[in-house]
Copies of this chain bind each other. A is one copy, B any other.
Amino acid sequence: MTLNSADTAFRDRLITELPEDIFRPIEPRYLEEPRGRYAGQDALLALPRTTQEVATLIRHAAAARVGVVPYGGGTGLVGGQIYSEGPAPLILSLERMNKVRAVFPGENVLIAEAGVILADVQAAADAVDRLFPLSLAAEGSARIGGNLATNAGGTGVLRYGNARDLCLGLEAVLPDGQIWHGLTRLRKNNTGYDLRHLLIGAEGTLGIITAAALKLFAKPAKMGTALLSVQSPKAALELLSLARDQLGEMISAFELMHRRGFEFLTEQLPDVRQPFAAPPEWTVLIDVGLSGDLDPAESLETLFASALEAGLVEDGLVAQNQQQSDEFWHIREMLPEANRRIGSVSSHDISVPLGAIPEFIGRGGEILAGIGEFRINCFGHVGDGNLHYNVFPVPGKTRADHENQRPAIKRAIHDLVDELGGSISAEHGIGRLKVDDLERYGDPAKLLAIRAIKAALDPLGIMNPGAVVRAVD
């Protein structure tokens, strides 16, 4: 039951049915991933232009039993796009399928091919005065098909949901090469099992998404931003409750940043303007998007005043204009770059129930202190219970000095997350990096069901082999 190589004979068969320029010599960028942890091997690269061409490629891959690695923007952080062991695969890049097929402003729907870059989806929505709210650091290069395959998260989840919540319908090529025409614009459609939600988050292991019908939203009439300093994660959660009481679902983002992040910026990116003279222990970044005639600065000042009165916040700044708002967000957005420059010993994309955040942060610090001396930069989408919990060496040390401690750190943090009812992968997915973790922490009944579904829909095991589900020999 092993796979075969995408060899010259395979390619020769394909070009009897497909234009030859569908293939291009492989370039290094298709074999690398952003953190430099994996390197792919030689592969056959195909860049189809149509869904029909994708179907033909998959049909041949199934007939020849060749592994297929779907490739979007290459921004995934768990190695889902990198196949490094086994026979040479077919890398199927969706980058030429980059058309917005249609926009229906009256229906708040946009149909995009899988290869459209996320920022271009946002721009196409903006052009008809609508909002496509999926927003994340890699939006300038990530492609919507990959965003959906990995159920991407980002900063807009609190208000608008994850990528899966923004999708009404899909077109996809299933592992036998059949095209599923599920590109519906319907808001209600109860006709059998929801294949859409099965393919979303399956990371290309059950088929290839070729296009999606996406939900658009009315743009909030006015946006506003505030930075509020709080003493503890617990106070941040109480501030979230207070903000919800006052502003309901108009809170668009609620991010938490630790002092360490500001210090890293000072150390690595001193040009980033920091609004507080001395960074507070914890800072909350709030975005609101208001409808009607509500004034965002006024609403945030009211929240600030009542939070001060309740003893929840210590200091704060409400952006008075778009430039200030951009400056506040720039801090948040540059944190990953500062982290990258320092080089983490271990990084964790985890989530826990909201109420367990203070315990997680408290106990996480104690556990790490027991393992060695580290600097922790904890920040993230606290409104979603999603923290990026990243562990760094102290000045003078490098990540290489802690190489042998990494497994213990990862294990201890994941054990804690599991104990608190959390998730070892909140928004990045399983890919190839976390297959062992999924097996360790996943519910046994769920794991059996996942394997049964994979075997049923991809009996030859050709779709993104080794991602999410261990390949069966």
Residues of A within 8 A of B (CB): 104, 106-109, 150-151, 153, 157-158, 161-162, 164-165, 174, 178-182, 184-195, 197-198, 200-202, 206, 217-218, 220-221, 237, 241, 244-250, 290-294, 299, 351-355, 381, 383-386, 421-430, 434, 438, 441-450, 452-457, 468-469
* A218 partner residues in chain B, CB cutoff 8 A: 244-245, 248-249
**Complexed CA–CA distance, A246 and B219 (Å):** 10
Cα separation A428 to B455 with both chains bound (whole Å): 31
Chain A to chain B: the 9 pairs with minimum beta-carbon distance, closest first: A197-B197, A456-B456, A248-B291, A189-B423, A178-B445, A188-B426, A180-B445, A187-B384, A107-B354
17 contacts between A and B (CB under 8 A): A107-B385, A109-B353, A151-B194, A157-B187, A178-B445, A187-B351, A187-B384, A188-B427, A190-B428, A191-B442, A193-B201, A193-B206, A193-B453, A193-B454, A193-B468, A194-B200, A218-B245
Given the known interface contacts A192-B430, A430-B191, the answer about A182 and B249 at a Cβ–Cβ threshold of 8 Å is no
CA distance A469 to B456 in the complex (A): 16
The answer on a CB contact under 8 Å between A174 and B445 is yes
Is there contact, CB below 8 Å, between B249 and A249?
yes
Apart from A184-B353, A186-B385, A191-B423, 9 more pairs, CB < 8 Å: A158-B187, A178-B445, A186-B421, A188-B351, A191-B424, A195-B449, A246-B291, A449-B457, A452-B457
Tallying the copies of this chain within the complex gives 2
Contact (Cβ within 8 A) A184 B421 = yes
Give the distance to chain B from A195, nearest Cβ to Cβ, in Å.
6
CB distance B195 to A353 under 8 Å?
Answer: no
Question: Would you call A153 and B198 a contact (CB within 8 A)?
Answer: no
Q: Are A181 and B249 in contact (CB under 8 A)?
A: no
Which residue on B lies nearest to A290, using beta carbons?
Answer: B292
Say how far A67's CB is from chain B's closest CB, in angstroms: 19
Known: A190-B429, A198-B193, A438-B192. A217 touches B385 (CB 8 A): no
Task: Tell me the minimal C-beta distance from A20 to chain B in angstroms.
Answer: 28
Q: A188-B381, A294-B294, A428-B190 are in contact. Are A355 and B248 (CB under 8 A)?
A: no
- Of B189, B446, B447, B453, which contacts A426 at CB under 8 A? B189
A425 to chain B, nearest CB (A): 5
Interfacial chain B residues near A192, Cβ < 8 Å: 201, 430, 438, 442, 446-447, 450, 468-469
Q: Are B449 and A180 within 8 A (Cβ)?
A: yes
> In the complex, what's the smallest C-beta–C-beta distance from A183 to chain B, in angstroms?
9
A428 and B190 alpha carbons, distance in the complex (Å) = 7
Beta-carbon nearest neighbor of A452 in chain B: B456
A106–B245 alpha-carbon span in the complex (Å): 11
Nearest chain B residue, comparing its CB with the CB of A205:
B193
Q: Hey, which chain B residues are within 8 Å of A384, CB to CB?
A: 187-188
